[in-house]
Structure 1
Amino acid sequence: MLFNLATVGLLPFALGAPLLEQRDGQTIPGKYLVVLKPGSVASRSPGILSNLANGAIANVHQDHTYSVGDFKGFAASLTDVQVEALKADSQVAYLEADGIAHTQVVSKKSTITQADAPWGLGRLSHRSKGTGTYLYDSSAGAGTCTYIIDSGVYAAHPEFEGRALLVKSYTGVNADDNGHGTHVAGTIGSKTFGVAKKTKIYAIKALDSGGSGSWSTIIAAIETVVTDSKSRSCPNGVVINMSLGGSKIQSVNDAVAAAVDEGLFFAVAAGNDGDNFSAYSPASEPKAFAVGASDIKDALAPFSNYGSTLGVIAPGVDVNSTWNDGAFNVISGTSMATPHVVGLAAYILGLSGPIGPAALKTQIQSLSTTGAIKLSTGASRARTPNKLAFNGISS
């Protein structure tokens, strides 16, 4: 549809900031995310609220404020009247209802203490399935930092050899009271179960004991990663794991994109609904790297989301890794596939030295084993790139 510019100019109030709606997500009543236009007066001012809506929200309490590159904004409780006032302010890019993000795990099975490497590591280092030996270069991700936005990490687990640290908690609990984050960390960098056995692990706890957290907290965690990573020694680069998700929410995607623009690589879970991942966040953000899950028989897991622009597929069914009680656990989900890829990203950076996020995505896809995965039926699944993550060691 074409618009006459003169006509558009006569209708300034008809073109206010939109209130974006989530497709099916769980929203938090009265809580909103407000994203500002780059370069606006409010985005440059320490007193954001006093410069918005003619001062109508000056006394509103901000739950979080955000500044990641050009991504500026805040989270707050707002009345309907305040929402309308912000929608009419030309400095506001858009508003969204805050919502809930969840871990992307399918099931929890019995805790085990097996010290053998899981099947996923063997698959990651061989072109053919069925090999239990994990082959890897001795650099093993040295000189890299891995950030995990999740339920925290049990840093005292002997598998981490003192390389894990809980940087910040947004839940009031300075421990992994769920286990999911520790499991993810183990697949990335533990001595037995990890892909990159020398990477340093930094956890941001944004999810509670039930594995859930608000989107506003997730965005705050992303900003923490950007700022904290600048204070660490990571000469070969920084990678980020987000094994969480929910219905598509633009502000989360924009925050991830802004962090990628800062030079950080984000691998994210595609989701566990057996659906097209384009309807989910943060998986749908093009600058992130969405990961689907496969099983030990090289089939795309029935729960795994899919899509024509999926980044890569990795082992995500019956994955053995570290747990928050000092033992181990076997669980499944795209949450488990994603840390295989984040570990692989750290592993590649340990070998090559620092490269940008886009180049790292390309390298992971170029190394991948093509055509190995059974994608099952359905046109959308069939269009999913048939690329299984591979570390290149035995090619």
Structure 2
Amino acid sequence: MEEDPLLAVDGTALKQTGREKGIPWGVQEIKAPHAWSTTTGHRIKIGVIDTGVDFSHPDLKHSLARGINLLNRAALPHDDNGHGTHIAGTIAAANQLRGMIGVAPRSTVYPVKAFDHNGSAFVSDIIMGIDWCVRSRMNIINMSFGMKTRSKSLLHAVTNAFNAGIIIVASSGNDGKRKSVDYPAKYPQTISVGATNRLRRIAPFSNRGIHIDIYAPGEKILSSWLRGKYHEMSGTSMATSHVSGAIALLLAYQPGLAPAEIKAIMKRSMLPLRGTKAPRLTGELDVMRMIAAADR
């Protein structure tokens, strides 16, 4: 029997804020608003394996499906931490008048609550979450969490989802390491995401190096929070939600793209980062370049 280790969500530096909402800087940075006349992510289903979601948040009301609570099957996957609500907001918030807008405002988030109020989860619950996403025919799975140890059973679940044609987006971790990333981001079946800041440089906390497939905004990201509020968070978790939203835009525009094709399109269309010595190997997410690359 394999051990059943704990995983933790990848987000730090909490700050409650009443600051300007509208279109957050990360959503602007990846040029998502330029794509909305072409695609808004309509009908794309995103499984967010996390702490649940605040179903009453005005910015998320039209963006959520029921999902599943793996810690209490009888209950809705209500968020008692905040992390999952933050991730869902960046992906799909849609409240143009008074709130904020996420990357893919007409996509649908299916919250899969595997993490408790502390932001901890057992691998076995994550695997159940992945299996639920496969059975429920998600297009994308957002995994804003990680662990240091490899797990055969987690790899098996990830491979199963990949083979079912689901795109798995995973955060690389917040250890500031140059040569390693967390699992499941380390598995080649996932799209592993590092974080950038407003200067388009790799954020100091982000893991980096050859295991990262793409970078996206992850520093001081404003998004939805519990009880209808907003919070600023930093982490590769936040970067991951930008990438999941961008893939939702791409899939709504060109349905039927396989996970490997999407990874290739992303790699072809990245913007070189500032301040890196190997600009061709890695870059930052750019939705408009991605959509153009899909047409080629």
TM-score, structure 2 normalization: 0.89
Q: What's the counterpart of residue 97 of structure 2?
A: none
Give CA deviations for 1:265-307 in whole Å, capped at 9, x if unaligned.
0000000011256452111110100000000011101110112
Q: Distance in 2 between matches of 1:331 and 1:309?
A: 24
Q: Distance in 1 between matches of 2:279 and 2:19?
A: 39
Q: What's the counterpart of residue 136 of structure 1?
A: 35
Q: Distance in 1 between matches of 2:158 and 2:172?
A: 15
> Retained in 2: the 8 A contact 1:149–1:206?
yes
Cα pair distance change 1:209/1:137, threshold 3 Å: same
Pairing partner for 2:115 from 207, 212, 215: 207
**How many residues are aligned here?**
281
Question: Structure 1: where are the runs of 5+ without partners?
Answer: 1-33, 35-95, 127-133, 231-237, 377-381
Deviation at 1:113, TM superposition (A): 5.3
Q: Distance in 2 between matches of 1:277 and 1:209?
A: 31
Q: Distance in 1 between matches of 2:225 and 2:239?
A: 16
Q: Tell me the secondary structure at the aligned position of residue 229 of structure 1.
A: coil
* Higher mean C-alpha displacement, 113-122 vs 339-348: 113-122
> Retained in 2: the 8 A contact 1:345–1:364?
no
Give CA deviations for 1:135-166 in whole Å, capped at 9, x if unaligned.
22332111211110000011221212422034
Give CA deviations for 1:91-113 in whole Å, capped at 9, x if unaligned.
xxxxx211111010021012325
Alignment of 1:207-286 (within 5 A): 207-229=115-137, 238-251=139-152, 252-276=154-178, 278=180, 280-286=182-188
Alignment of 1:312-351 (within 5 A): 312-351=214-253
* Higher mean C-alpha displacement, 153-162 vs 214-223: 153-162
Q: What's the counterpart of residue 130 of structure 1?
A: none
Deviation at 1:250, TM superposition (A): 2.6
Q: What's the counterpart of residue 188 of structure 1?
A: 91
* Higher mean C-alpha displacement, 311-320 vs 184-193: 184-193
> Retained in 2: the 8 A contact 1:271–1:277?
no
Q: Distance in 1 between matches of 2:223 and 2:281?
A: 27
Deviation at 1:327, TM superposition (A): 1.5
Q: Distance in 2 between matches of 1:277 and 1:214?
A: 26
Cα pair distance change 1:120/1:194, threshold 3 Å: same
> Retained in 2: the 8 A contact 1:120–1:319?
yes
* Higher mean C-alpha displacement, 141-150 vs 248-257: 248-257
Question: Is 1:361 aligned with 2:263?
Answer: yes
Question: Does 1 or 2 have the higher relative contact order (CA < 8 Å, sep 6+)?
Answer: 2
Question: Structure 2: where are the runs of 5+ without partners?
Answer: 95-99
Q: What's the counterpart of residue 190 of structure 2?
A: 288
Cα pair distance change 1:385/1:193, threshold 3 Å: farther
Q: Distance in 1 between matches of 2:55 and 2:48?
A: 12
Higher strand residue share: 1
Q: Distance in 2 between matches of 1:258 and 1:104?
A: 24
Cα pair distance change 1:363/1:205, threshold 3 Å: same
Q: Distance in 1 between matches of 2:256 and 2:226?
A: 31
Q: Tell me the secondary structure at the aligned position of residue 160 of structure 1.
A: coil
Q: What's the counterpart of residue 50 of structure 1?
A: none
Pairing partner for 2:4 from 78, 82, 98: 98
> Retained in 1: the 8 A contact 2:206–2:236?
yes
Deviation at 1:249, TM superposition (A): 1.8
Identical-pair percentage: 32
> Retained in 1: the 8 A contact 2:104–2:248?
yes
Q: Distance in 1 between matches of 2:268 and 2:241?
A: 19
Q: Distance in 2 between matches of 1:269 and 1:277?
A: 15
Deviation at 1:125, TM superposition (A): 1.1
Deviation at 1:205, TM superposition (A): 0.2
Q: Distance in 1 between matches of 2:126 and 2:180?
A: 19
> Retained in 1: the 8 A contact 2:192–2:212?
yes
Alignment of 1:19-98 (within 5 A): 34=1, 96-98=2-4
Pairing partner for 1:390 from 286, 290, 294: 286
2:115 corresponds to which letter in structure 1? L
Q: What's the counterpart of residue 275 of structure 2?
A: 374
Q: Tell me the secondary structure at the aligned position of residue 84 of structure 2.
A: helix
Deviation at 1:384, TM superposition (A): 9.0
Larger-Rg structure = 1
Q: Tell me the secondary structure at the aligned position of residue 348 of structure 1.
A: helix
